[in-house]
Amino acid sequence: MNSNKNFNSKMSGFDLDCVKYMVPQADKLSSGSIQEIVFVTDFGQVVGDILLLNCRNKLQKKHAIHNANVRSMIESSSEGVGRIFVEYNTSKGGIQYFVGSAFAVTNNIIVTADHNVDAIREKDEVTFTLHRIFITFDPYTRFQEEVGIENMLELELLPKVVDSLDEFKSTPYELNSTFRRNDFRFLRFKNGEVSPTFLLPKHIPEETNCVVIGTPGSVDKTTFVNDHPSENSDELFEDLKERMDSFQRKTISSGSCEQTLEGFMLHRCPTLKGFSGGLVVILSKPMTYQYFSGIHIGGSMGINKNVFISVNRPEFAVEYALAIQNDTYFVAQNKNNLVDYFSTFSEETKNYANNLYKILFN
């Protein structure tokens, strides 16, 4: 959905020119430790498609999508997908940025994977303490080359409720040893900015084709080969590097959406570290508005699948309802689509967000 408000001034030209900025010096840029899966055939060929956007969030001409409706939906939806830079102070006195993907669900509210914005991280006997979170919607975001913190928008975390509710506490499934059951987190712009566009939740349809939109992190060959051991790892890395234009660009990855497993949805869109928190859209017909089907949270080598959290999950619906219910203008403007989404949940779920349900259903 297009924003009904104007851009903040420092973002007003982001879709016109690929302007380069420098970010402050940091000790290191990390895409985190969550696994991501690139699917390959027995001949070492990538399964699924990888599409790139130009600096105006338009698909490059070499990517031939013959369905104009699908092409338009992908391009317009991608405008609401950003790359987050999460700034941590280290116990050694330095600064480190962790990166991930995120997308807008209202004019001023963003969602990402919860593990992208952990308050505390521990690694190699170093403690990282969350300091600030920034987002940019620019398709070109190479660290220390094209994006500067001073040109990004600062975010702040919204309180998270469902983790403390008995109804939604984690069940000891096998996948929960790798993934958090409620691995999603809502944020808002700290200084009143608005996103270029936003997406609305839509229940998972029966169609099986989906796309993930996010930004892969900086990928070095040694790490990639270690993460994807095979006879063709070197060639696979070079292929991906070429197809993703040396990484760190907003990327559309397409593939198949598969079954539900232990409360998670599985897919076979090829992803790399940095995609976590990215937009998942299951392509359905008709596509009459910009919507999202879930949030990509990583991959599991054990089951050889990538994983996302579906908007069908009641705990997601509760957290989303609490995040948006005080924005009466947004709710009124999108009432019909929100009614379609929230009407399928149980009375127990509705009780957690009475204010929203009164607006929608009274």
pLDDT at site 131: 96
Q: Mean pLDDT of all residues in the chain? A: 79
Cβ atoms < 10 Å from Cβ of 45:
12
pLDDT at site 43: 63
Average the pLDDT over 327-347 and give the result.
Answer: 92
CA distances from 22 to 12, 89, 145 (A): 19, 20, 6
Separation of alpha carbons 207 and 38, rounded Å = 22
CA 73, 79, 80, 82 dihedral sign is: positive
Where are the chain's structural domains?
9-310, 314-361
Least confident range of 31-45, 255-269, 299-313: 31-45
pLDDT at site 240: 66
Separation of alpha carbons 316 and 311, rounded Å = 6
Cβ-based neighbours of 39, under 8 Å, separated by 6 or more: 46, 47, 48, 255, 268, 270, 304
- Which helix (H) or strand (E) segment holds residue 260: the answer is strand 251-261
73 or 31, greater pLDDT? 73
pLDDT at 242 over 80: no
pLDDT at 266 over 70: yes
**Residues 277-321 pLDDT 10s:** 999 999 877 677 899 999 999 988 888 889 999 999 999 999 999
pLDDT at site 8: 33
Average the pLDDT over 16-20 and give the result.
Answer: 35
pLDDT at site 25: 36
pTM of the model: 0.84
Contact (CB, 8 A) for 83 and 250? yes
Separation of alpha carbons 149 and 22, rounded Å = 8
pLDDT at site 191: 92
147 or 203, greater pLDDT? 203
Strand runs labelled E in 190-250: 200-201, 209-214
pLDDT at 209 over 90: no
For residue 141, name the pLDDT band (cuts at 50, 70, 90): confident
pLDDT at site 34: 63
DSSP letters for 263-296: TEEEE-----TT-TT-EEEE--S---S-EE-EEE
**Residues 107-119 pLDDT 10s:** 999 999 999 999 9
CA distances from 306 to 139, 182, 271 (A): 23, 16, 8
For residue 65, name the pLDDT band (cuts at 50, 70, 90): low
332 or 4, greater pLDDT? 332
pLDDT > 70: what percent of the chain?
72
Separation of alpha carbons 85 and 176, rounded Å = 26
pLDDT at site 102: 98
* Nearest Cα to Cα of residue 317 among 291, 356, 290: 356
Separation of alpha carbons 355 and 289, rounded Å = 25
- What CATH number belongs to 9-310? 2.40.10.120
DSSP letters for 132-149: EEEEE--SB--BTTTB-G
pLDDT at 168 over 80: no
Separation of alpha carbons 86 and 82, rounded Å = 13
CA 91, 226, 178, 154 dihedral sign is: positive
pLDDT at site 15: 29
pLDDT at 29 over 50: no
* Nearest Cα to Cα of residue 56 among 120, 130, 127, 139: 139
Beta-ladder partners of 232: none
